[in-house]
Amino acid sequence: MATIYYGVVAKNKYVVADYTKFDGDFPAIFQQIINTTPATNKVTVLSRGDQAYYVRPNTDGYVFGCMASSLTPNEVPRKFLEELQARVYAYVDRQGQGKSAAPSSTAAVFTRLIREIMVLLLLLSSYICGRKTQRKRSRGTNSRRSTATYAR
C-alpha cells in the first residue's frame, strides 16, 4: 500500500506545519534535513532503513517534504509534494503573500492541506492498485477462456 506517513511545510528553515497519524521522530529528522539541504527546486530523496524522505527545497524559502516507506513507488511521494506545493502557493497567492493571515491560521490551513492530500493519495493509490489487480485477473481469465474456446 502506498502511504505517506508524514508531511511537512517549512519556510526559511522553520517548520510552519506538519502532520502525521504515526509515532516517530519525523519532525526532528526533517529539521535536520531542512537545515542541510540546499535550495534547488528539485526533489531530493534520502533513505534511512525502510523509510524514504522526500524533500523539495525551493529557492523562495519554502520547503516541502514527506516520509514514506521505501517500498512506496516514487510517483506517490513526488505527486504528494507536487500537489502540496501547488495548494500552498495557491493559498499564499490568495492571502497576498501570507501578510494578511495570522501565522496560526496559516499553520492550521497547511496542516489541513497535508492531511487532505495524504488521504486523497491513499484513496487513489488503493483504487489504482485495485484496478491493476482486477486487470491482471481479468486478463488471465480471458486468456484461459479464449484458449479453452479454441481447444474445443
Q: Does some domain include residue 35?
A: yes
Residue 143: the pLDDT is 43
Number of domains in the chain: 1
Asked if the structure places residue 145 within a domain, the reply is no
Nine-digit cell at 108?
492550521
Q: What is the pTM of this model?
A: 0.77
Asked if the structure places residue 152 within a domain, the reply is no
In a domain, 149, yes or no: no
| Inside any domain, residue 120 | yes
**Residue 81: inside a domain, yes or no?**
yes
Which set of grid coordinates corresponds to residue 5? 506517513
Residue 60's CATH number: 3.30.450.50
Closest by CA position to 4, among listed 114, 104, 136, 144: 114
Mean pLDDT of the chain: 81
Predicted local confidence at residue 146, as pLDDT: 38
Residue 10 above 90 pLDDT?
yes
In a domain, 36, yes or no: yes
Burial class (CB in 10 A: 0-12, 13-18, 19+), 107: middle
pLDDT grade for 85, boundaries at 50, 70 and 90: very high
**pLDDT at 140 > cutoff 70:** no
d(CA 14, CA 107): 12
List the domain range (segments joined by +) for residue 119.
Answer: 4-139
Chain centroid to Cα 25, Å, comes to 18
Residue 94 lies in a domain: yes
